[in-house]
Amino acid sequence: MHYPSMGLLETIQHCAVTCEHMTSMLHKKGMLEARGEQLAHLRDCADICQLMVDYLARGSVFSKSLASICAYICEICGNTCMQFPDEASQKCARTCLNCAKACKEFAEY
């Protein structure tokens, strides 16, 4: 099994943390109803990214397969966040889309 670079691990971990933070922020601001779809995608993205980090860290033979799914979910989350003009959503969108790109590259490597 080819172990990933620390850069990839850090990119994915940063995405997980960013999505968790964004979820917490939306909860605190009481934006649950207005941003239901965004919240759902943020949760899914944070969860898949954390799982991806775990798989990569232990060198799982399923890492590349999971990376494709991770890229897909991160891209959807990033595109959803991009629809909201606030700075936090825009930053989250960039982070998710960057993670999607990194995961896709890893999956195809």
Establish if 47 belongs to a structural domain: yes
The predicted pLDDT at position 96 comes to 98
pLDDT digits (tens, 9 = 90+) for 5-64: 779 999 999 999 999 999 999 999 988 888 999 999 999 999 999 999 999 999 999 999
The boundaries of the domain holding residue 103 are: 6-108
Establish if 58 belongs to a structural domain: yes
The predicted pLDDT at position 109 comes to 85
The predicted pLDDT at position 31 comes to 82
Establish if 1 belongs to a structural domain: no
* Contact of 74 with 99, CB cutoff 8 Å: yes
The predicted pLDDT at position 34 comes to 86
What CATH code is carried by the domain that includes residue 83?
A: 1.20.1270.360
Check pLDDT > 70 for residue 74.
Answer: yes
